[in-house]
């Protein structure tokens, strides 16, 4: 009797387990495997794709590859019949000129202007004299501006340091609050412009030079247009030692002479220097071709198919670094985010095969690889402002950004993935995602970064956030950063393909539950994490 009861209980347990695991979900997940992952990633992260930078040839090649895959597996192009959603992206270069006594100075060698400090209107000035005002200090017992009129003047000051200081010139460069205080004072006194004598110009690091040479890329929408139109309080130009001494030669003096005089006397040595200095800077706007790539799978349930699950990964990366050390200059971005893009392609194919077999999801799924993530989440921001499907019908965003490797915290066991955001807005989504993992995949779900106070701010640093800020529940899947993050060493050869496939399967099974569930995840938390009343 007991033996028979035990046997019956065993059969019941098997039956319950079989019910818990959906056989169709398992069947169609088989296309998500390491071999198919390698097939896609070996193309997307190849040297031929030149690091897939937004607005460059490699990025366009990646977009075409993804589009062709979506088309080949039977997904529909939901953007008026197309797979591309163009984003209104522009770049701003800086045309900048400085002349001293009629002689042109060389940008980045003699001077530089921070691009973001120049409005769309630009600036220009033509001064017949310069006011040298030492360290630009106003404090008890010492005032570089005493008896000086600043209104309408071009003022030249040392960016950092104090009278008599023996510290290296670069020692206080990081003290931005002190510099900001100087600039604020000069703006309040209606100075026309400021020339900062800056040691950084004399020995400029490659990364700073690269930043100053790069073009600022922004979405062309009302918010950015309004921001670009805002005029700065006054132009600020950083100049090197050589250019500063050329200006000071108009008064037969030099930087070292003036520093010694101020240090020895303990008094300012501010003075008017009769020399002409002209400068101008203008923003040059260029249209950038960039597009999100969308593939749509319509749901099978007449009532539920209007609801849409969105699965995302960004296909762009940071392109080529000409001054990178060594022979390899291409940032292939195999992990960031070739791995996530590959995951989206694999999951899309699995669901497409399910639909062809008559087992398609009840709700619709939008598979979207976005561009411009590395430029500031621009592609996903554009979609959230110009959604192809109403945001109120979007039930969840599952975002995949780096699932092909691991970090130092998991060197001994790579069977993990960080999940971020799953419980930020919806307890339902958190429960569904963790249940899918327990039922099908059994990966260690690390929630170390699943909070808004994480110093790394990962919750705000990938494309899911442009859905979360609109109240749409999200899960961000992530394997952490590593030594090759944003470096040419992020190569296909270093990818853990079995784990890439396993993490992609976790997203797939979570998506299966969401797309076929009786109800969409309830949003029961506010953006700050407090319960909705």
pLDDT digits (tens, 9 = 90+) for 215-268: 889 999 867 766 666 657 899 999 999 999 999 999 999 999 999 999 999 999
Tell whether the model's pLDDT for residue 107 goes beyond 80: yes
C-beta of residue 315 within 8 angstroms of C-beta of residue 45: no
Token pair belonging to 370: 């976005």
Do 436 and 381 touch, CB atoms closer than 8 A?
A: no
- Rounded to whole angstroms, the Cα distance separating 51 from 58 reads 6
3-state secondary structure (DSSP) of residue 124: strand
pLDDT score of 169 more than 60: no
Fold: same for 21-87+290-516 and 91-286: no
Model pLDDT, residue 231: 55
Task: For residues 191 and 322, give the distance between their C-alpha atoms in angstroms, rounded to a whole number.
Answer: 39
Helix (H) or strand (E) segment spanning residue 126: strand 123-127
Domain segments of the chain as ranges: 21-87+290-516, 91-286
Strands 236-239 and 111-112: antiparallel
Nearest to 317 by CA among 337, 289, 293: 337
pLDDT, residue 51, reads 98
pLDDT surpasses 70 at 17: no
Q: Is the separation of the CB atoms in 380 and 59 below 8 Å?
A: no
Query: Long-range contacts made by residues 165-173, C-beta under 8 angstroms, separation at least 24?
Result: 169/199, 170/199, 170/200, 173/199, 173/200
Q: What does the pLDDT look like over 483-504, one tens digit per residue?
A: 999 999 999 999 999 999 999 9
For residue 168, what pLDDT band results from cuts at 50, 70 and 90?
Answer: low
pLDDT confidence bin for 1, thresholds 50/70/90: very low
Which long-range contacts link 170-177 to residues 24+ away (Cβ below 8 Å)? 170/199, 170/200, 173/199, 173/200
Mean pLDDT of 108-127: 92
Distance CA 38, CA 497 (A): 7
Look over the chain and give the mean of its residue pLDDT values, rounded to a whole number: 92
Q: pLDDT tier at 210 (50, 70, 90 boundaries)?
A: confident
Q: Cβ distance 451 to 459 under 8 Å? A: yes
pLDDT of residue 499: 98
What's the CATH number of domain 91-286, 3.50.30.30, 3.30.70.3280, 3.40.50.300, 3.30.390.30?
A: 3.50.30.30
Structure tokens at 389: 């499907």
Residue 518: Cβ within 10 Å count? 6
- Fold adopted by 21-87+290-516: Aminopeptidase (3.40.630)
In percent, the amount of the chain with pLDDT more than 90 equals: 83
Dist. CA 6–CA 27, nearest whole Å: 31
pLDDT at 230: 62
What is the bridge-based pairing of β-strands 271-273 and 291-297? unpaired
Q: Other CB atoms closer than 10 Å to residue 127's CB: what's the count?
A: 17
Place of tokens 């959604």: 387
Q: Count of CB atoms within 10 A of residue 531's CB?
A: 8
How far is C-alpha 341 from the chain's CA centre?
16
List, in order, residues 6 or more apart from 193 with CB less than 8 Å away.
123, 125, 127, 154, 155, 234, 235, 236, 237, 279
**What are the pLDDT digits (tens) for 428-486?**
999 999 999 999 999 999 999 999 999 999 999 999 999 999 999 999 999 999 999 99
Q: Find out whether 57 and 276 touch, Cβ atoms under 8 Å.
A: no
């Amino acid at each position: 009797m007991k033996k028979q009861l035990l046997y019956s209980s065993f059969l019941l347990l098997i039956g319950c387990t079989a019910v818990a695991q959906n056989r169709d979900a398992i069947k169609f997940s088989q296309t998500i495997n390491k071999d198919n992952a390698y097939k896609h990633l070996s193309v997307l992260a190849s040297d031929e794709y030149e690091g897939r930078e937004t607005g460059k040839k490699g990025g366009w090649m990646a977009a075409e590859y993804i589009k062709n895959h979506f088309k080949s597996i039977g997904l529909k192009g939901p953007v008026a019949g197309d797979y591309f959603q163009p984003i209104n992206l522009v770049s701003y270069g800086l045309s900048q000129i400085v002349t001293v006594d009629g002689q042109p100075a060389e940008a980045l060698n003699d001077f530089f202007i921070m691009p973001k400090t120049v409005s769309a209107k630009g600036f220009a000035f033509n001064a017949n004299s310069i006011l040298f005002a030492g360290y630009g200090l106003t404090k008890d017992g010492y005032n570089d501006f005493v008896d000086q009129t600043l209104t309408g003047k071009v003022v030249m000051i040392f960016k950092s340091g104090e009278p008599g200081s023996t510290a290296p010139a670069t020692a206080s460069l990081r003290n931005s609050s002190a510099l900001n205080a100087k600039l604020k004072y000069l703006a309040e006194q209606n100075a026309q412009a400021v020339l900062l004598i800056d040691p950084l110009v004399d020995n400029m690091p490659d990364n700073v030079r690269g930043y100053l040479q790069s073009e600022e890329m922004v979405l062309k929408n009302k918010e950015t247009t309004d921001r670009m139109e805002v005029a700065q309080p006054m132009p600020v130009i950083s100049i090197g030692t050589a250019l500063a001494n050329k200006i000071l030669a108009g008064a037969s003096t030099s930087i070292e002479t003036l520093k010694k005089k101020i240090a020895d006397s303990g008094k300012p040595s501010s003075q008017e220097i009769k020399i002409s200095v002209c400068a101008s800077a203008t923003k040059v706007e260029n249209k950038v071709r960039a597009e999100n790539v969308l593939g749509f799978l319509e749901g099978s349930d007449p009532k539920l198919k209007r609801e849409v699950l969105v699965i995302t990964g960004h296909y762009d990366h940071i392109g080529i670094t000409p001054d990178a050390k060594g022979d390899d200059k291409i940032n292939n971005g195999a992990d960031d985010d070739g791995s996530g893009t590959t995951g989206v392609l694999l999951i899309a194919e699995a669901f497409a095969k399910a639909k062809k077999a008559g087992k398609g999801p009840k709700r619709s799924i939008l598979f979207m690889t976005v561009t411009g993530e590395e430029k500031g989440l621009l592609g996903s921001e554009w979609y959230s402002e110009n959604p192809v499907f109403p945001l109120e019908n979007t039930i969840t965003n599952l975002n995949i950004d780096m699932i092909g490797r691991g970090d130092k915290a998991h060197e001994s066991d790579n069977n993990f993935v960080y999940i971020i955001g799953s419980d930020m807005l919806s307890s339902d989504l958190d429960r569904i995602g963790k249940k899918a993992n327990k039922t099908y995949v059994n990966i260690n779900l690390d929630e170390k970064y699943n909070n808004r106070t994480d110093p790394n701010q990962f919750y705000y640093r990938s494309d899911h956030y442009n859905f979360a800020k609109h109240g749409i529940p999200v899960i961000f899947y992530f394997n952490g950063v590593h030594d090759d993050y944003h470096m040419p060493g992020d190569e296909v050869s270093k990818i853990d393909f079995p784990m890439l496939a396993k993490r992609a399967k976790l997203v797939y099974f979570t998506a299966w539950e969401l797309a076929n569930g009786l109800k969409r995840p309830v949003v029961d938390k506010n953006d700050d994490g407090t319960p909705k009343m």
